[in-house]
Structure formats: C-alpha cells, structure tokens
Amino acid sequence: MKIHREGKKIIFITGTLVFMIVLAMLLLVKEWNVVHYLFVAGLVIFGFMVTAFFRIPRRIFADNPSELISPADGTIVTIEQVFEKNYIKDECMQVSIFMSGTDVHVNRYPCDGTVEYVKFRRGNYFVASYPKSSDLNERTEVGIRLENGKRILIRQVAGVMARRIVCYAKEGEHVRQNQELGFIRFGSRVDLFMPLDFPISVDLQDKVRNAISPIAEIV
C-alpha cells in the first residue's frame, strides 16, 4: 500500500498536531484518568483514519479494452437514462458511484481514449448520494473520445465533506485505461455517462472497485 501524494501534507500536519497535543498533555496533566487515555486513543485513531483515507492499495488492474472499468471505489447509486447537455449532448446512460469516507478515493480512467473536454463547475456541497448532487454540487467534468469514435463523460462530484476535487486531465492528451484521473477528498461521487447501446454490467447497490470492476461493455 502507498500513500497518495495529495495526502502527504495533510497527514504530516495531522500527525504534528496529534503529537503536539499529546506532548502538551504529558507536560501539563499531573494525574491521568480514563478520560485522558480515551482522548489520546481518539486522537491516534483519528490520525490513522486520515492516513487510511489517502491510501492506494496494491491491485492487479483489469486490462480489457472492450469494457468500461469502474473509475472509483464505492456503491452504485444511480443507473438511469438522462440527457447530458455539456459534452455528449444527447441521451445517454448515467451510472453513479457513491464513495463513502472509508472507500479508496483515487479516480482512474475507465478506458483508453483522447481527452476532448475538461470543465470545472462551482456549486453546492449536498450529500453526494443525493440524486440532484450530480447537477448542483461542485464538480469537474472530463469528456473522452474512445478509439471507436464514441464519447463518454466522467464527472467528479464533491460531497458534504469533500472540499477539494483534484483532476489531472488535460484536453488533447491520450489516456490509458486505469491511468490516474484524479482524487476527491473526504466522501464524494463519480458519475459515468455513456452511449445508450453500451450494455451495463452492474446493478443498483453493487460494490465496485476502481481499476477492477467492469461497469459496461464498449460496443
């Protein structure tokens, strides 16, 4: 397991604060009781949770150019036909993945292709599992033209706790399946928009993992 570069500064600051608080308690508290020990235990657990949030687990990535692979870890919360107005500009299928605070928050490209569209949109911070959060929350959209000419859109959506969306996509670059797309801090959602004729491979409430779980077949 590795730690994502987006988390190294936060982990350092968190660890420093925990150390300083514990050190101050050791110097100032003459007689420790159960409350003091529980407080310190809580600080240590909090530090481990922050570190775990930025983890990148070792995985054997899927390598299948005929499938869209999940761009995120989490739970499938939406599968529906919608009109995507910004890039695809047509009716398409939307599959949404909700990432809880305990999920791995690295986002990856679901397929090979060329990035044609990148757009950051400011918005609210509603609960990411709320259906309207896809259109109302702060988000980043990445449009990709597949090698067969068809197009998909990946939308990184902020949630209640997610206050920073990191997206590494650049218009014009060629990307590979499972290459890192970005990172979202502290609970969020990723929407995947695809052509109507792509057979969906998941159901509502399915658990998926980035770079491993197939979402749909590319046709």
Cβ(216)–Cβ(67) below 8 Å: yes
Per-residue model confidence (pLDDT) at position 86: 92
Query: What is the CATH class of 67-217?
Result: mainly beta
> pLDDT tens-digit profile of 63-116?
899 999 999 999 999 999 999 999 999 999 999 999 887 888 889 999 999 999
Higher pLDDT, 73 or 58: 73
Burial class (CB in 10 A: 0-12, 13-18, 19+), 184: buried
Paired sense of beta strands 67-69 and 174-175, if any: unpaired
- Identify the band that residue 7 occupies on the pLDDT scale cut at 50, 70 and 90: confident
> pLDDT tens-digit profile of 110-169?
999 999 999 998 876 666 666 666 667 788 999 999 999 999 999 998 876 655 788 999
Tell me if residue 100 is catalytic.
no
Active-site annotation holder among 96, 129, 134, 188? 188
Q: Indicate the domain borders of the chain.
A: 2-56, 67-217
Paired sense of beta strands 188-194 and 151-158, if any: antiparallel
